[in-house]
């Protein structure tokens, strides 16, 4: 009996969590299928639909942009070299 109750609670929690997660996602970021179709799949086939949405349908997190140190940034080094060359040319005049 405990297993049945625990399974029912897990099923409800997974379905509610995935449904809220799908509703709150931006429609343009949801992958594979359209957002309303994912909601129907999650509700009609709760466990399989929820797992499918979480694995292939949910939006991917945005890649974190890491700041590059100035001495590792080729664009910064190019601009610095040009600036130093211009300053050197002005001194020579």
pLDDT category at 72 given cuts 50, 70, 90 is: confident
List the domain range (segments joined by +) for residue 19.
Answer: 2-57
Q: Is the pLDDT of residue 5 over 90?
A: yes
Torsion of CA 38, 40, 41, 42, to 10 degrees: 80
Has residue 8 been placed in a domain? Answer: yes
The model's pTM: 0.60
Q: What percent of the chain has pLDDT over 70?
A: 92
Average the pLDDT over 85-92 and give the result. 80
Has residue 33 been placed in a domain? Answer: yes
- pLDDT of 59 reads 83
Tally of domains in the chain: 1
Contacts for 54 with CB less than 8 Å, ≥ 6 apart: 18, 21
Has residue 90 been placed in a domain? Answer: no
pLDDT category at 87 given cuts 50, 70, 90 is: confident
Per the CB < 8 A criterion, the answer to whether 59 and 22 are in contact is no
Has residue 76 been placed in a domain? Answer: no
Has residue 78 been placed in a domain? Answer: no
């Amino acid at each position: 009996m405990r297993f049945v109750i625990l399974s029912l609670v897990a099923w409800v929690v997974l379905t509610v969590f995935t449904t809220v997660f799908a509703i709150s996602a931006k429609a343009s970021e949801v992958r594979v299928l359209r957002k309303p179709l994912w909601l129907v799949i999650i509700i009609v086939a709760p466990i399989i639909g929820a797992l499918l949405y979480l694995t292939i349908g949910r939006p991917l997190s945005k890649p974190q942009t890491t700041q590059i140190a100035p001495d590792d940034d080729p664009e910064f080094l190019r601009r610095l070299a040009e600036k130093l060359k211009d300053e050197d040319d002005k001194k020579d005049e």
